[in-house]
Structure 1
C-alpha cells in the first residue's frame, strides 16, 4: 500500500493529528489547510473532502482535544466512586499529567492565540460538547454537598473551584514549561502535594 493510499484512507484522522502539530507551531493566523495537506503528503485540495475551511479543521482538533481531556478526568472520577474528595485529588493529578504529557494541548487551550479565536467562532458543537470544566465543576459540587451533609461549615463552590483549579493549573504550567527545577519524578511530587493534607483541607 502506498503512502498516498494510506493517507487517503485515514485522511481525516491524519489531518487532525498533523493539524494539531502545525497549529501549535504556526499559531492560528499562519495556519492553513494547504500547510496541513503538505505535512500529510497529499494534494492541497485533499483536505476539502473532510473540511470546508481551516476553521472547520481547527474545530475538529479542538473537539478531539476536549474529548481526550474530558475522558481522562472522567476516568479519574471512576477510580474513587464513593469518595468525592479523592475524586477531586485524582482529577487534579490527571489534569497535570495530561498537560505535562501533552504540552501541545496546554498551549492550545491556554497559551496561544487559539483561545481568543475560538470564542469569536462561537462554534455550537464545541460549546455543546462534553466540557472538561463541567466534569470538574460537578465534582466540586459533590464535594461541597458532602461538607453540608456532614454539618460542617459551608464552602463557596466557586471559591473551592478557583482554589483547586488554580493550584493544579499552576503546577501543570510550571512542570510542562520546565520552570520548576526538580531532579526527581515530577508526577510523584504532584501526588505528594495533592495527597499531603493541604489540598482540599476542608
Structure 2
C-alpha cells in the first residue's frame, strides 16, 4: 500500500490522534490544521477533506475522548450488574485509571485553554447530549444507588450531594496523581482502589 493511499484511508483517525498530541503540546491559540497536516505528513489542504476548521477537528477529538472515557465507565458498571455501590466504586477507580493513563485527556477536559469550550460543547451540541455522555453514565449510577438506599433505609440521600462527593474525591485523586503533585513510592492505582473500597467511601 502506498503512503498516499495509507493517508487517504486512515487520514481522519490520524488527524485526530496527532491533533490531540499537538493540541496538548501547543495549546489552542497555536494549534492549526496546517501543523496537524505536517505532523501527519500530508499536504496542508488534506485535513479539510474531513474538517472545516481547527475547532471542527478539536470537536472530533473531544467526541472520541468522551466515547473512550464513557466506555471505561460502562465497563465498570457492567462488572457489577447487581451491585450499585460496587458500580460506583469501580467507576471511581476507572475514572482515576483512565486519566492517569491518558493525561492528555485530563488536560483537554479540565486543564487546557480550550476546556471551557469543551464544557460549552457538552451543553449545546447534540453529539454530546445523549446516553453516551460520561456524566450521564455516572449520574444514572448515582441515582440507582440513591434509590436503593431510600428503599432499604427509608430515608432520602440528595443525589447531587452524593454525585459531588464521589466526583470530587476521584477527580482530586486523578489530578494529584496525573500532575505528580502527590509523591508515593508504591502503586498509585492500588492505593486508589484501597481508598475507594474502604468502609468510609459510600458509607450509605
Q: Same fold (TM over 0.5)?
A: yes
CA–CA distance in structure 2, aligned partners of residues 22 and 127 of structure 1: 27
1:179 aligns with 2:177: no
1:99 aligns with 2:109: no
How far the C-alpha of 1:116 sits from its partner, in A, is 1.6
How far the C-alpha of 1:120 sits from its partner, in A, is 5.4
CA–CA distance in structure 1, aligned partners of residues 39 and 167 of structure 2: 36
The equivalences for 1:43-54 within 5 A come to: 43-54=43-54
1:169 aligns with 2:152: no
Deviations 1:150-200 (A, max 9, x none): 024321110000000000000000111111111111100011000111111
- Find the counterpart in structure 2 of residue 158 from structure 1: 160
- Find the counterpart in structure 2 of residue 125 from structure 1: 127
The Cα RMSD (Å) is: 1.4
CA–CA distance in structure 2, aligned partners of residues 139 and 120 of structure 1: 24
**Residue 147 of structure 2: SS of its match in structure 1?**
helix
Q: 1:141 to 1:120 in 2, by over 3 A?
A: closer
**Residue 30 of structure 1: SS of its match in structure 2?**
coil
Q: 1:147 to 1:120 in 2, by over 3 A?
A: closer
- Find the counterpart in structure 2 of residue 115 from structure 1: 115
TM-score w.r.t. length of structure 2: 0.94
- Find the counterpart in structure 2 of residue 5 from structure 1: 5
TM-score w.r.t. length of structure 1: 0.95
CA–CA distance in structure 1, aligned partners of residues 68 and 114 of structure 2: 18
Equivalent pairs counted in the alignment come to 202
Deviations 1:24-56 (A, max 9, x none): 111112111000000000000000111111111
CA–CA distance in structure 2, aligned partners of residues 34 and 99 of structure 1: 28
CA–CA distance in structure 1, aligned partners of residues 154 and 26 of structure 2: 51
Q: Is the 8 A contact 1:34 1:44 kept in 2?
A: yes
Q: 1:180 to 1:23 in 2, by over 3 A?
A: same
The equivalences for 1:47-86 within 5 A come to: 47-86=47-86
- Find the counterpart in structure 2 of residue 31 from structure 1: 31
Q: Which runs of 5+ in 2 are unaligned?
A: none
Q: Is the 8 A contact 1:28 1:114 kept in 2?
A: yes
